[in-house]
Amino acid sequence: MTDSYTKAVNSGFTKSLAKKLGLPRPAILRRYRAGDPLTVGPVLVLSDDASRGDADSLAKELLGWSLDVRREPTDDARWGAVLLVLTESARPTDVSGAVLAAGSVLRRLAPNGRVLVVSRAATDGDAPELAATRSGVDAFLRSLAKELRYGATANGLVLTDGAAADGTSALAALRFFLSARSAYVDGQQLRVGATPSDAADSPADLDRPLAGRVAVVTGAARGIGAAIAKTLARDGATVVCVDVPAAGEALARTTNAVGGTALQLDVTADDAGTRILEHARSRHGRLDIVVHNAGIVRDKLLANMGPAQWDAVVAVNLDAQLRINAQLLGADGGAGVEGLRIVSLASTSGIAGGKGQTNYGFSKAGVIGHTRATAPLVAALGGTANAVAPGFIETDMTAAMPFVTREVARRLPTLQQGGQPVDVAEAVAFLASPAAAGINGQVLRVCGQHLVGR
């Protein structure tokens, strides 16, 4: 869908007029294109004294990615990214120098630049000073993200369970956040655990990290589902596109576009999971990735809601995912789905709720809940379960909203615009990648740092 306002305030006479009138001027976001550089300029790596070792390790890795890496602020650079490493900060006073050094260069952060903060998670056994320091990083990062302009974003990696700053999954997350693939992810803290010892290393071809993998995408006929199918295929996966028989024509278009296979299936069917597994195995010999994207909305105030609205939303958005997961993980005791990556579509409505969306909010909060509970079950098979929570994404559904409501929703995020289906797809593809093996049970919001929730 087009955002005419954003286009207008970034070109010609209307750009000058908007600037004079002080109108909001959302930036044109830089999105991934093969062959483009990873960042829009040099990367400045900063740390407090205690975290210098991790900063050195990360700087070395970044140099290996052919980036221009610098360790001291200068006035002659237009920074593509600032990496702030606070992994070993033990007291609130420890972070002052590094934080203020980062602040001193923000005016020279390039449009669509990145600020990344690497820290460690607070735990129940931490001393009060350590807990205060690690907890403080969260609100610092989210506040900083609200201050950035011109399409720049700030996100954080929170290391857990003794994860190394230069571990495979931490580096995969770092690369994702630095890149244009994370254009609409802002103000988010992603918890990254230690990469399992038997997990795959980073792929040799970073542009095709899913080569050789077989992925199933439900609700793939159009919108976000079609974008997910196309992005997974771009990254090398063979894609099974699933949707209801009524969407057969659109499903065929998506399937042809990605060179995959189609499975006409209602995900609420009692045997949906079994049929998905049988199709993937019989046609492609394996199943590596399942993306639960199928979903519906039936918005009504609760006072006006009946079983038709409530039960249908819960059946499609939540109960179908639970049943499919149970059948996939239960088949042959999980044999044949070792290393399975499950990515479920939640929503910011499942975090903060929404008027007229008691049914939808319940279902999407349920997705978050079952993702966290499923994570240890699939981890026992060498896999992961994560969720992506989109905010306002430009789709046919949002295009049908009343004009004023749609425009207000677009301007509420820090990035002052709606996201595109591909923004959700990029996050799904990252979480489905082998290098993300240390990320499990997490919810990654793709919302431009929307005001709702956290």
Instruction: Give the CB-side neighbour count of residue 10, counting CA atoms within 13 A.
Output: 14
Paired tokens of 50? 């205690």
| Three-class secondary structure of residue 33 per DSSP | coil
Paired tokens of 15? 């750009």
- Asked if 316 and 266 count as a contact pair (C-beta separation under 8 A), the reply is no
Catalytic residue among 5, 32, 184, 360: 360
Read off the amino acid at residue 127. Answer: A
Paired tokens of 401? 């909203």
- The DSSP H or E segment spanning 379 is helix 358-379
Instruction: Give the CB-side neighbour count of residue 147, counting CA atoms within 13 A.
Output: 11
Question: What is the layout of strands, in order, in the sheet containing 341-345?
Answer: 261-264, 238-243, 214-218, 289-292, 341-345, 384-390, 443-446
Using a 10 angstrom Cβ sphere, with 0-12 exposed, 13-18 middle and 19 or more buried, the burial of residue 76 is exposed
What does the alpha-carbon distance between residue 410 and residue 369 come to, in Å, rounded to a whole number?
A: 28
Strand partners, 243: 264
What does the alpha-carbon distance between residue 147 and residue 106 come to, in Å, rounded to a whole number?
A: 10
8-state DSSP, 317: I
Using a 10 angstrom Cβ sphere, with 0-12 exposed, 13-18 middle and 19 or more buried, the burial of residue 337 is buried
Residue found under tokens 């740390």: 47
Using a 10 angstrom Cβ sphere, with 0-12 exposed, 13-18 middle and 19 or more buried, the burial of residue 353 is middle
Is 360 catalytic? The answer is yes
Strand partners, 85: 47, 118
Catalytic residues: 360
